[in-house]
Amino acid sequence: EAGVAQSPRYKIIEKRQSVAFWCNPISGHATLYWYQQILGQGPKLLIQFQNNGVVDDSQLPKDRFSAERLKGVDSTLKIQPAKLEDSAVYLCASSMEYEQYFGPGTRLTVT
Amino acid sequence: GDSVTQMEGPVTLSEEAFLTINCTYTATGYPSLFWYVQYPGEGLQLLLKATKADDKGSNKGFEATYRKETTSFHLEKGSVQVSDSAVYFCALSGIAGRRALTFGSGTRLQVQP
């Protein structure tokens, strides 16, 4: 069974630039999550989708972050404009029930 | 809101030593509890889970028991190996259909030969 795929794996941008991350969940998993993991901390939920609907985006900084999940499969997370404090690993996870499967993450460095 | 507190690291042990990593939580209702592990250069992997009080999760020699009375889910292993060196995260999944995970800050384990 293929795991959760994410791309790119690494991205370096300057502040005020925009960036987008892509996630392809495990086939058949209805729930998709985006987490932000700052160095030395645990992952923090940004947004949760159930199929193509948003379940929870209460911790998403909506002035600069946006996410979509078209057709209930792939998802894209965008940051525009990026700030220095957005430097982190962005993790995508998917689940069918309680167990979440994580992708390898995208490491973002904002300079 | 929900929160997870785990002991700070790094925890440095010699091979075959006994491991305990403490984890306590605050949540409304009856959350599910998890331990995730992140090996160097790899993604987060589920290590074990417990979905109700007094359940014991176990995997690869690791164990943790869901203690509702002390709101704890401590991770233990009787004899660690060098290959267990990783960062361990305690997490909970809330109730009422919200299954997003709330993570602790992680504990780095270093096992020396």
Strands B101-103 and B86-93: antiparallel
B20-78 pLDDT, tens digit per residue, is 999 999 988 889 999 999 998 888 999 999 988 999 999 999 999 999 999 999 999 99
- CA-CA distance, A102 to A93, in Å (whole number)? 4
Question: B89 contacts in A (CB within 8 Å)?
Answer: 42-43
Distance from the Cα of B47 to chain A's closest Cα (Å) equals: 11
Under an 8 A CB cutoff, do B89 and A95 touch?
no
Kindly report, residue by residue over A19-62, the tens digit of the pLDDT.
999 999 999 999 999 999 999 899 999 999 998 899 999 999 99
- The answer to whether the beta carbons of residues B108 and B10 sit under 8 Å apart is yes
Residues of A in contact with B42 (CB under 8 A): 104
- For residue range A62-110, list pLDDT tens digits in order: 999 999 998 889 999 999 999 999 999 999 999 987 789 999 999 999 9
Contact A45 B100 (CB under 8 A): yes
Q: What radius of gyration, in Å, describes the C-alpha atoms of chain B?
A: 14
